[in-house]
Amino acid sequence: MRLLGVAAVKYLVLGLVFLNYQSAFRAVNGMFNGVADGIYNLSGGLDVIQHWNCQICETELFQC
């Protein structure tokens, strides 16, 4: 009987987790989007790619 109670509590907790999954996922996703926006704003976005392209063009192998 005790195992049945433990299993019921596990399923109840799992049900509560799935009930709040959407809001938790959106919060975590929003956090990662905030970090990505911060990195983008600090680096200047495409400036990193343009700088890398200029470095490639300055080597002897590639003449732009």
Q: What six digits make up the tokens of 61?
A: 């192998």
Q: Which amino acid is at 21?
A: Y
The confidence band for 33, taking pLDDT boundaries of 50, 70 and 90, is: very high
The pLDDT, as a whole number, for residue 24 is 82
Q: What is the pTM of this model?
A: 0.44
Distance between CA atoms of residues 61 and 52, nearest Å: 15
User: Residue 44: is its pLDDT beyond 70?
Assistant: no
User: Residue 9: is its pLDDT beyond 80?
Assistant: yes
